[in-house]
């Protein structure tokens, strides 16, 4: 009897750390009776899912690579990790995955880790700021590049974060006993990390060292990358600006009210999730403590930010740097008009605007020929 342990994500729940740890310690897994297969060099098999953006919508398609990967398997207990599988939300798509798995395995254990929607969204959108082009990464295709820590909600994003509906389909297709739903939080994970927790779910006795993968994105890179991509700045220009963004490692945080509001958009789904797959005292599947967020967020670009960034933008070697600076300022002024800031905030923004412009202000002085200095200047007109 052959068993497949199929890890399907979600994104930003330590998947990269888990995959890399298993890839690097494949021999230890083999000794314990487990075979680890992957499509990527770092242990990721998400290449079996194609993420396509067409006509303003995102769709997901299973290709032939999962079948090819499983066909090469020889172990009685095999592990595959592909967080892009969590994108699938239509029954026929999930049934295709089940049919491929059933060709080679008698038993399939589907393992999924869930993270509270607001925490996951911030982290996932940070991933979209690591690149320099839009519609290339899965984060960019799904979440876009609008300003703020959270994506602008649309149908595709609402489907993605409706954990219950999606997992109910996986359970229906693979069977009630096949799906194992885990909460991604340090307190809930066995041993405090995903590697230890995942190994505890396997029918074996082994130890593998946890592998931390640093995918941090500072506030400056997050805000400026998303804004420049939203404005349509060319990839070649953005690449030149990236070094000046990476110098900042300050943390980006939305306001407490914005985080709570985003989470509560999925209240009904989380209530069903709690009753079916998770059991939290909050009744909403997750801890509802939002005290880790500040009252006032810092997830939007201020004129003071632009004032500090202007000298770096002007010296980055991009084409017409003054034009980019002015485009950012024009965008900011439009926001100020739309948001109708209070008097105190507006005054501060206008003062910073003056400072920003003065940093690159230049007035050409009238140049006199050298011989004019030898002649006595007139002190009055006619």
How far, in Å, CA of 268 to CA of 257, rounded? Answer: 19
Query: What contacts 335, CB < 8 A, 6 or more positions away?
Result: 147, 300
Q: Which residue bears the tokens 């997750």?
A: 286
Residue 356's pLDDT is what? 77
Q: Tokens standing for 184?
A: 């991604």
Residue 90's pLDDT is what? 97
H helix and E strand count, the chain: 16, 7
Length of the chain in terms of residues written: 382
How far, in Å, CA of 17 to CA of 256, rounded? Answer: 29
Which residue, 353, 360, 350, is CA-closest to 329?
353
Q: Percentage helix, strand, coil, to 5, in the chain?
A: 50, 10, 40
SS3 assignment, position 191: helix
Q: Tokens standing for 380?
A: 């009055």
Residue 206's pLDDT is what? 79
Contact predicate 300/346, CB 8 Å: no
Residue 220's pLDDT is what? 97
Query: What contacts 240, CB < 8 A, 6 or more positions away?
Result: 316, 317, 318
Q: What are the angstrom distances between the C-alpha of 317 and each of 118, 239, 241, 313? A: 37, 11, 8, 8
Q: Tokens standing for 135?
A: 């519609």
Residue 270's pLDDT is what? 98
Residue 185's pLDDT is what? 94
C-alpha Rg value of the chain to the nearest Å = 26
Q: Which residue bears the tokens 């002190």?
A: 379
Residue 377's pLDDT is what? 60
Residue 362's pLDDT is what? 66
Query: What contacts 174, CB < 8 A, 6 or more positions away?
Result: 94, 98, 108, 110
Q: Tokens standing for 40?
A: 């990527």
Residue 376's pLDDT is what? 63
Q: What is the pLDDT along the chain (382 residues), one digit of tens a residue?
A: 999 999 999 999 999 999 999 999 999 999 999 999 999 999 999 999 999 999 999 999 999 999 999 999 999 999 999 999 999 999 999 999 999 999 999 999 999 999 999 999 999 999 999 999 999 999 999 999 999 999 999 999 999 999 999 999 999 999 999 999 999 999 999 999 999 999 999 976 778 887 777 678 999 999 999 999 999 999 999 999 999 999 888 999 999 999 999 999 999 999 999 999 999 999 999 999 999 999 999 999 998 999 899 999 999 999 999 899 989 988 888 887 777 667 777 888 888 887 777 766 666 666 667 666 666 666 665 5
Residue 365's pLDDT is what? 67
Residue 380's pLDDT is what? 60
Q: What's the DSSP call for residue 255? A: -
Which residue, 321, 348, 142, 330, is CA-closest to 233?
321
Other CB atoms within 10 A of residue 125 CB: 26
SS3 assignment, position 26: helix
Which residue, 266, 265, 283, 262, is CA-closest to 274?
283
Domain ranges of the chain: 3-116+156-201
Q: What are the angstrom distances between the C-alpha of 39 and each of 82, 104, 141, 209, 321? A: 9, 17, 22, 22, 42
């Amino acid at each position: 009897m052959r068993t497949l342990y199929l890890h399907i994500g979600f994104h930003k729940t330590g998947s990269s750390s888990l995959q890399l740890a298993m890839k690097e310690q494949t021999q230890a897994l083999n000794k314990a009776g487990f075979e680890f297969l992957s499509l990527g060099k770092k242990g990721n098999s998400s290449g079996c899912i194609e993420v396509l953006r067409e006509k303003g919508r995102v769709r997901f398609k299973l290709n032939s690579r999962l079948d090819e990967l499983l066909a090469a398997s020889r172990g009685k207990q095999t592990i595959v990790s592909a967080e892009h599988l969590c994108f699938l939300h239509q029954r026929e798509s999930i049934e295709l995955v089940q049919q491929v798995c059933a060709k080679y395995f008698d038993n399939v254990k589907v393992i999924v880790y869930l993270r509270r929607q607001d925490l996951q969204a911030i982290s996932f959108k940070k991933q979209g700021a690591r690149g320099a082009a839009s519609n290339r990464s899965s984060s960019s295709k799904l979440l876009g590049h609008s300003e703020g820590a959270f994506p602008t909600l649309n149908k595709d994003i609402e489907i993605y974060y409706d954990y219950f509906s999606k997992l109910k389909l996986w359970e229906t297709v693979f069977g009630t006993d096949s799906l194992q739903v885990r909460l991604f939080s340090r307190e809930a994970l066995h041993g405090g990390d995903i590697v230890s927790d995942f190994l505890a779910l396997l029918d074996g006795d082994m130890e593998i060292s946890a592998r931390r993968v640093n995918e941090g994105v500072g506030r400056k890179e997050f805000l400026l990358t998303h804004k420049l991509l939203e404005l349509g700045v060319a990839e070649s220009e953005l690449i030149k600006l990236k070094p000046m963004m990476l110098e900042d490692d300050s943390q980006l945080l939305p306001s407490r009210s914005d985080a709570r509001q985003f989470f509560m958009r999925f209240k009904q789904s989380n209530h069903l999730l709690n009753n079916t797959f998770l059991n939290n005292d909050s009744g909403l599947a997750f801890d509802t403590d939002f005290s880790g967020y500040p009252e006032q967020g810092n997830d939007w670009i201020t004129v003071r930010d632009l004032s500090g960034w202007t000298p770096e933008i002007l010296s980055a070697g991009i084409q017409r740097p003054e034009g980019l600076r002015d485009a950012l300022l024009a965008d900011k002024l439009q926001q100020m008009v739309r948001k109708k800031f209070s008097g105190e905030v507006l005054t501060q923004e206008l003062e910073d605007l003056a400072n920003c412009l003065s940093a690159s202000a230049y007035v050409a002085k009238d140049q006199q020929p050298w011989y004019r200095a030898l002649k006595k200047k007139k002190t009055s007109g006619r």
